[in-house]
Amino acid sequence: MLQDLNGRSQPEYLPLVREGGDEAAQRGRGRPRDEVARGRILTAALEILEEAGFANTTADAIAERAGASKATIYRWWPNKGAVLIEALREQVAQETPFPDTGDVARDIREQLSDFIALLTGRRGRIFKAFIAAAQSDAEFADAFRQVWIRPRREQAQALLRKHIVEGRLPADTDLEVVMDAIYGPIYFRLLAGHAPLTAEFAEGIATMALQALLNSGV
């Protein structure tokens, strides 16, 4: 359950995902987001995240650096966590967009390689802090699912669906199962910490998934 600035409960989580040039769904409160202000807020959020870490990043600090009011942030996002997750997602989408090479094997390998590069790079600690927070904070966990997992899965599925339409994957491929099969091992190793996240690990997952997909379908 969400809360407004006065601590009152809000009945639903409002979607933040953009599709094309328009909001996928208009937020039920406030005015539509100004894209220039939105960009400043997300940039400020990511900068402070990288400088101070997740626990020390506050809505006040984001508002001050972005030249926006705290009220504006909470009018457009339901909580601080949603702002931070969207800031990282937007930057990752710009720096490492999902590959669309026309080669399903190459696309899957590059997706997994890029994800592991994120987790082991300078922003990996931010992502790990998100995962940790989601284990104990139900509101943050919901934001993580809505703002990171759902849109990232939809983008990956859209590309795999294109491979189905063009005949490179079986028509009965279950894309939900495929997403869990290729990303699940990475999340498990991230959480369990029993072995390192490496490029070789990404290659192994990709090879196993491709063999299952191309030989029998999922």
Tokens 């491709």 identify what position? 210
| CA pair distance 156, 167, nearest whole angstrom | 17
Question: Which residues of the chain fall short of a pLDDT of 70?
Answer: 1-33, 216-218
What pLDDT score was predicted for residue 214?
Answer: 81
Strands (E) located in the chain: 2-3, 9-10, 18-19, 22-23
Task: Quote the pLDDT of residue 32.
Answer: 60
Q: What is the dihedral of CA 185, 186, 188, 191, to 10 degrees?
A: 170
CA distance 170 to 103: 14
Say what the pLDDT of residue 29 is: 46
CB-CB neighbours of 10 under 10 Å: 13
Q: What is the predicted pLDDT for the residue at 151?
A: 95
pTM above 0.85, yes or no: no
Contacts within 8 Å (CB) and 24+ apart, 95-98? 98/155, 98/156, 98/159
Residue 19's pLDDT is what?
A: 33
> What does the pLDDT read at residue 169?
93
pLDDT at residue 6, as a whole number: 39
Give dist(CA 191, CA 200) in Å, integer: 18
Query: The tokens of 209 are what?
Result: 């998934």
Whole-number pLDDT of residue 215: 77
Q: In this predicted structure, what is the pLDDT of residue 192?
A: 93
Which residues, other chains included, contact 20 with Cβ-Cβ below 8 Å and sequence gap of 6+? Answer: none
**What pLDDT was estimated at residue 143?**
97
